[in-house]
Structure 1
Amino acid sequence: MALQYQVVPVTSFQQNCSIVWCDETQKGVVIDPGGDVKQLLMMIEELNVQVEKLLLTHGHLDHVGGSEDLARALNQPIWGPHKDDNFWLQGLEGQSQMFGFPLTEAFEPSKWLNEGDTVTFGNQTLSVLHTPGHTPGHVVLHSESAKVAFVGDVLFKGGVGRTDFPKGDYATLIDSIKSKLWPLGNETRFVPGHGPESTFGSERVSNPFVADEMPI
């Protein structure tokens, strides 16, 4: 059995939405459906994935903008992020106007996610890590069996998340990366919220914001 995933860049922000599934059961989840819902529905059908829930890493519009439409289309619940990002979800109308996106109304998920929670689908499990800094309620979703993490806007190949938004904090972000992500293992691949995938080990060597001169 194995965890599979397909990354689909959505919206003008080219945000990485991930369709993640168990290849034994075809049951799965969608992480950060930021928009382009018709495209996502076509891909879900093409991959023959039976989506059981939608998962949000944080409350920024480019990651959550398509959530309610997709949840309605699939008749499935939205889980996450951590409740400390509720102010972002309640401010979605303002975010829509600021970025020139279609109007996205405020909503609350069916379930907030906390450190130590798990999300299961088929024979696969994702563990939840609370990783504040980019936003206070940001979470990361990690598969121990597949050695892959879906990290939203915490970490990028060669960069880290912005901290100049309300309730962002640079020192907190760096601590989240080093204390929560690095222990998952250097070989762990990660899917960031934007841009190409990388591994934690590679970023520990080369990322100018968080490199610790780990020997290769």
Structure 2
Amino acid sequence: MALEYRIVPVTPFQQNCSIIWCSETKEAAVVDPGGDLHLIEQAVDDLGVQVKQVLLTHCHIDHAGMTQDVSEKHQVPIVGPQKEEQFWIDMLPQQAAMFNFPQAKSFSPDRWLEEGDEVKVGNETLSVLHCPGHTPGHVVFYNANSQLAIVGDVLFMGGIGRTDFPMGDHQTLINAIQQKLFALPEETQFIPGHGPMSTIGHEKRSNPFVKMYG
């Protein structure tokens, strides 16, 4: 039994939308459906999984632009992020216009998430970490059984999330990385919002943007 995943890069920003599923039940969640709905649906069909929910790390347009569409198509709830993200949800139509994305529908999550919450995907459990700084309501999903985290735009291979957007804060982001992500087992693999996967241990040892803060 394990949590399995497939990464589906979407939008001109090549955002890592993830389809995660329980190997035992084939029940799945779509994480951060930012755009290119046809690519997401093709992957779901190829995998033969049953989408039961949409999970969101945060609500920038390239992560959340197709949230309502996926929810409506599969008749499933929207789970996450943390409630401070309402600011960015309300801005989705303006974000779409600003970045020349397809029209995005605003929405209300069926369930907000907080630090310490858990989300079930089939028989697998995801722990929720509230990791603000890139955006105020950003969350991270961690599955201990598969030693896998989905970290959105908090941490990248060799990089960290931008904090120059409205309601971003650099020190808050560094604190979240050091106190929450770097507390995970070093062998934990993570799927970032953009670019290649890495491990917590590798970033603890070598990420220059975090190392400079000791």
Q: Trace 1:46-195 onto structure 2 (pairs within 5 A).
A: 46-195=46-195
What amino acid does structure 2 have at the position aligned with 1:19? I
- Please state how far the C-alpha of 1:213 moved relative to its aligned partner: 11
- Alpha-carbon separation, structure 1, partners of 2:74 and 2:107: 17
4+ residue stretches of structure 1 with deviation over 3 A?
none
Between the aligned residues of both structures, percent identity stands at 55
Kept in 2, the 8 Å contact 1:128–1:139? The answer is yes
What amino acid does structure 2 have at the position aligned with 1:168? G
Report the TM-score, using the length of structure 2 for normalisation. 0.97
Kept in 1, the 8 Å contact 2:77–2:110? The answer is yes
- Please state how far the C-alpha of 1:93 moved relative to its aligned partner: 1.1
Kept in 1, the 8 Å contact 2:66–2:105? The answer is no
Gaps of 5+ in 2: none
Kept in 2, the 8 Å contact 1:58–1:135? The answer is yes
- Alpha-carbon separation, structure 1, partners of 2:13 and 2:168: 20
- Please state how far the C-alpha of 1:211 moved relative to its aligned partner: 2.8
- Please state how far the C-alpha of 1:212 moved relative to its aligned partner: 7.5
- Alpha-carbon separation, structure 1, partners of 2:98 and 2:18: 25
Gaps of 5+ in 1: none
Secondary structure of 1:17's match? Answer: strand
Kept in 2, the 8 Å contact 1:131–1:177? The answer is yes
CA change 1:42–1:206 in 2 (3 A) is same
Report the TM-score, using the length of structure 1 for normalisation. 0.96
- Alpha-carbon separation, structure 2, partners of 1:213 and 1:178: 9
What amino acid does structure 2 have at the position aligned with 1:4? E
- Please state how far the C-alpha of 1:94 moved relative to its aligned partner: 0.8
